[in-house]
Structure formats: structure tokens, C-alpha cells
Structure 1
Amino acid sequence: MAEQERAIRTRRAILLAAAKVFEARGYQTATIAEILSTAGVTKGALYFHFQSKDDLAQGVLAAQAQHLVVPDRASKIQEIVDTVILHTHRLQTDPMVRAGVRLTMDQLAHGLDRSGPFRSWAEAIRVQLEKAQAQGELLPHVVPAETADVIVGTYAGIQSMSQAISDYQDLVVRVTVLLRHLLPSIVMPSVLASLDLSEARGATVYEEALRIAESEAAEAEAISALR
């Protein structure tokens, strides 16, 4: 068990180091040597977990969507809002998420498949929109798959603009404004009036998601100890 935990810590340290280097350098100019130096691990340890720079980049891309999820809400539109706001909070506070977004938006990352985060985000929001539609929360003209792509695409543009202008310092404000412009075109007025779009909600949702993740981890550890 101790060896397994050490391997998990090593993998995490390598991913965090890769995230820092990718965020600072971009994919093309980042090197394995710099990632090794930042992580403080041997080449053998790195290649035990990751076969190449591309493999490392895919690990960082995947890590941005892991660990924290928004719990079920009675209103699926509020659930979508909270999903967007949680990602916004993590983008401001989590270097792994920032690096993943940097890689996703890096048009100079030739040969790197950057489609994964876009596809997974769009699919998750499509599912939430379909549930909202079934509950009567959406306006009649809404096509969930199309709207999901619009939400993901506009968010990508807004976060990119915020990164260029203020290094994400104004991201919460920009995302809140985006939602206030976008949601009236897809959501029933009665639902719209009940939504919490406050700028402080991101930290609240983050703490809630963190408590759930910690509870699930403790439960999993207890089950493992009984085996």
C-alpha cells in the first residue's frame, strides 16, 4: 500500500511540474528535461508513468476535469451555472486547471489532440440541458446539443480574453456577465428568476464539491481497509 501511495504521489508531482512548465512555456517549447528538473524526479520515474511529452500533456488535459463535481440540483440550469462557476473558480486557483486550459487553447501545439476537454464539456452540458428540457426549464426552440456547443465555445473565448487582459483576475465578472446575456435566450423566465448568479457562488460551490470529494475518498479508503 505504501508503495502504491508513493507511486500516486510521484505521478501527481510529475503532472504538477508538467502543468507549470506547459503553462509557462506552451506545448511546443516545453521540454522533458525542464519538467524533470521542476518535478525533482528521475527520468526513469517519469517514463514509468508517462511515455512521452504528448502523454504528459494528455494527463494534464484530463486532470482539469477530475476530482470535483457539482452535486445534483433540483434545477438543472442552476447545475449548469454551478458547473461553469466551479470551473471558473478552479481556473483562478488551481495550476493544473490553468495549464490544462492553456494546452486546450494552444493553437501552436501541433500534433497534440486538444479536442478532449471541448468534447467532454459539451457532452456533460448537453446531458444537463436535456434534463432541464425534460423538466420544462428551457424555452421551446432550444436544441441541447447546439446550445451546449455555444456555451462551451463562448466560455472558451471569455476565459481566453480574461487571461490576456488580466491573467484571470476579472474572470468571475466576465463569466457572470456572459451568463446574464446567454441564459435569457434559452431559459424559461420563471426559472431564470430563481438562479443564483452571484460572484461569490464559485467559492461556495467549490467548498461544497470539496466536502463531497473528501467524504467519498474517506468512504473508499474505509472500504479498502476492510478488504
Structure 2
Amino acid sequence: MARQERAVRTRSRIVQAAAQAFRDQGYEGTSTTDILKRAEVTRGALYFHFPSKEAIADAVVEHQIELLPPPVATSSLQRVIDITFRLARALQDDIVLQAAVRLAVEETSYHSGRTVPDLWSFQQFSALLQTAQEAGELLPGVDVEDTATMVVGAFTGIQLVSQLSHSRRDMLHRVSVFWQTALPGIAVPGLLMRLDVGARRVDELERTDAAEQGRSRSGDESDVVG
């Protein structure tokens, strides 16, 4: 068990170190030697976990999956909104996600089949919007795939502009403004007024996540005691 835990920690160190390098230097500007120095691991340890630099980049890109807890909103359209707020908050602080963005948008030799739509959970957006359409949340004539593509493209552009102009400090505000502008062309009037697109929505989401984590820890402790 101790060996397994050590392996998990080593893998995490490599991913974190690689993310710092990819974020700061890009894919082409980063070598495995750079990653080794930042992670302070041996070359053997690195290749035990990752056969190539591309495999490390894949792990960085896939990190976004861990950032999306199950949505709690009852409205599918609100869930789409919440995903963008969660990602916006994470982009302000999470080095691995910041690196994933750079890997996704830069033209480099890194080609693993992952695209910007994959990075911004295109499939999840599409599925939720399809559910929203079936529940009567979307205006007649709204195309699910086109709308998912629009959300992905808009969010990608918003975060890039925010990064360049304010180091992503205004991400939440920019996402809020996007939804205020876009929703009248997507949501039915009866739902429109009930959707929460304020920048403070993310605070509510974080409180919910913290409460859920607290319940989960209490449950784990109960299992141990029992």
C-alpha cells in the first residue's frame, strides 16, 4: 500500500511539474529534462509512469475531468452554466488546467486527438443541452450541437482575452456577461428569469462542494468506526 501511495504521489508531481513547464514554455519549449528537474524525480521514475512527453501532455489535458463534480442544479441549462463557472474559477488558480488550455490552443507537434471542444467538455455540454431541449427549456429551433459549439468557442475566447488583459482575474465577470447576452436566444422566457448567471454563482457552487466533501468524509469515518 505504501508503495502504491508513493507511486501516486510521484505521478502527481510529474504532472504538476510538466504543467508548470507547458504553461510557461509551451509544448515545444519543454523537454523531459525540464520536467525531471522541476519534479525532482529520476528519468526511470518518469518513464515508469509516462512513456513519452506526449503521454505527459495527455495527462495534463485530461486533468479537466477531475475539476467537474456532478452538477447539482435541477435545470439542465443551469448545469451548463455552472460548468463554465467552475472552469472559470479553476482557470484562475489551477496550473494544470492553465497548461491544458495552452496545449489545446497552440499549434505545435502535439497531436493526440484531443481538441478544444474536448477540453471544454463539448460532449457534456451537448448531452445537457439535449436534455434541456427534451425538457422544454430551449427555444424552438435551437440546435443543440450548434449551441454547444458556440458555448465552447465563446468560453475559449473569453478565457484567452481575460488571460491577456487581466491574468484571468475578470473571468467570472466575463462569463456572466456572456450568459446574460446569449441566454435570451437560447432559453424559453419562463426559465430565463430563474437561471442564475451572476458571478457570485460560483460561491454557491463552492459552498455546495465543500458541504458534499464534508458529508463524504463523515461517511468514510463512519465506515472505519463501524
| Superposition TM-score, scaled by structure 1 size | 0.90
| 1:106 corresponds to | 106
Q: Number of paired residues?
A: 224
| 1:155 corresponds to | 155
1:67–1:92 Cα change, 3 Å: closer
Q: Distance in 1 between matches of 2:135 and 2:35?
A: 48
Which one-letter code corresponds to 1:37 in the other structure? K
Residues 60 and 99, structure 2, Cα contact 8 Å, conserved in 1: yes
- 1:118-159 Cα shifts (integer Å, max 9, x gaps): 236111001101111111110011111111111101111111
Which one-letter code corresponds to 2:99 in the other structure? A
1:217–1:94 Cα change, 3 Å: farther
SS at match of 2:66: coil
- Displacement after TM superposition at 1:210 (Å): 5.0
- Displacement after TM superposition at 1:98 (Å): 1.1
| Superposition TM-score, scaled by structure 2 size | 0.90
Residues 77 and 129, structure 1, Cα contact 8 Å, conserved in 2: yes
| 1:133 corresponds to | 133
Which one-letter code corresponds to 2:79 in the other structure? E
Q: Distance in 2 between matches of 1:55 and 1:216?
A: 32
| 1:201 corresponds to | 201
Q: Distance in 2 between matches of 1:113 and 1:50?
A: 14
Residues 139 and 188, structure 1, Cα contact 8 Å, conserved in 2: yes
| 1:119 corresponds to | 118
- 1:73-126 Cα shifts (integer Å, max 9, x gaps): 21111111111100111111211111111211112x224236345236111001
The alignment yields a C-alpha RMSD, in angstroms, of 2.2
Q: Distance in 1 between matches of 2:103 and 2:163?
A: 13
- Displacement after TM superposition at 1:196 (Å): 1.1
Q: Distance in 1 between matches of 2:183 and 2:94?
A: 27
Q: Distance in 1 between matches of 2:217 and 2:131?
A: 28
1:207–1:98 Cα change, 3 Å: farther
Q: Distance in 2 between matches of 1:105 and 1:169?
A: 20
Residues 89 and 203, structure 1, Cα contact 8 Å, conserved in 2: no
Residues 162 and 168, structure 1, Cα contact 8 Å, conserved in 2: yes
Which one-letter code corresponds to 1:110 in the other structure? S
| 1:9 corresponds to | 9
| 2:178 corresponds to | 178
- Displacement after TM superposition at 1:214 (Å): 6.7
Q: Distance in 2 between matches of 1:201 and 1:37?
A: 40
Residue 78 (str. 1) matches residue 69 (str. 2): no
| 1:69 corresponds to | 69
Q: Distance in 1 between matches of 2:67 and 2:37?
A: 27
- Displacement after TM superposition at 1:212 (Å): 3.6
Residues 26 and 102, structure 2, Cα contact 8 Å, conserved in 1: yes
Show structure 1 runs of 4+ deviating over 4 A. 213-223
Q: Distance in 2 between matches of 1:215 and 1:52?
A: 39
Matching of residues 40-55 of structure 1 within 5 Å: 40-55=40-55
Identity %: 34
Structure 1 segments unaligned to the other structure (5+ residues): none
Higher relative contact order (CA 8 A, sep 6+): 1
| 1:57 corresponds to | 57
Which one-letter code corresponds to 1:97 in the other structure? L
Structure 2 segments unaligned to the other structure (5+ residues): none
Residues 27 and 103, structure 2, Cα contact 8 Å, conserved in 1: yes
Which one-letter code corresponds to 2:137 in the other structure? E
